[in-house]
Amino acid sequence: MLLATIIRHPKERRSKCSLTSLEGRADLEFFRARPGWSFNASEHTVLGLDAPVLTEADAGRPLLLLDSTWRLLSQLESCLVGEGVRRSLPAVPTAYPRVSKVTADPLGGLASVEALFLADLLLGRGDVSLLKDYHWKSLFLQGLQDSGWIAD
């Protein structure tokens, strides 16, 4: 069963992407957006901001994760056609050491792999193998534990 479709912004560097090690998994599909390209988001749960929080009731649809910097996210959103179901993630601490001299990250801004894991957790699974190669895995899981999202 497909867990998620990930669409990367064309300027997203694979070498710095927290999801690169997950390429090739049968439950994930990856696309790179490009000018003139579109994706039908119907039948997907589209992760974003300012939407109801994802719950286990959303488990029947694959996730759609847009992989981009916050500044370029609107360009990826413009590639979407169709009506997906919009959901957000609760604000949890990120372990990813962000430094932006251009824009501030929104409250609850997560690395893409963190967002994917948290979404999977909220859907009732919490597959830790999604974080297997994530450099800040332990720190992220500790933050989730400290904030009550996962048990000790």
Task: Give tens-digit pLDDT for 123-143.
Answer: 999 899 999 999 999 999 999
Q: Is 139 within a domain?
A: yes
- In order of 20, 40, 85, 111, the CA distances from 142 in angstroms are 23, 36, 30, 15
Task: List phi, psi (to 5°) of 18.
Answer: -75, -10
Q: Is 77 within a domain?
A: yes
The mean of the pLDDT values for the chain is 86
Q: Is 152 within a domain?
A: no
Q: Is 151 within a domain?
A: no
Q: Is 42 within a domain?
A: yes
Look up the pTM and report it: 0.88
Closest CA to 121 of 140, 100, 96, 99: 140
Write the pLDDT tens digit of every residue in 51-67.
999 999 999 999 999 98
Q: Is the pLDDT of residue 107 over 90?
A: no
Domain that holds residue 23: 4-146
Q: Look at the chain and report how many structural domains it folds into.
A: 1
Q: Return the structure tokens found at 81.
A: 């056609």
Q: Is the pLDDT of residue 17 over 90?
A: no
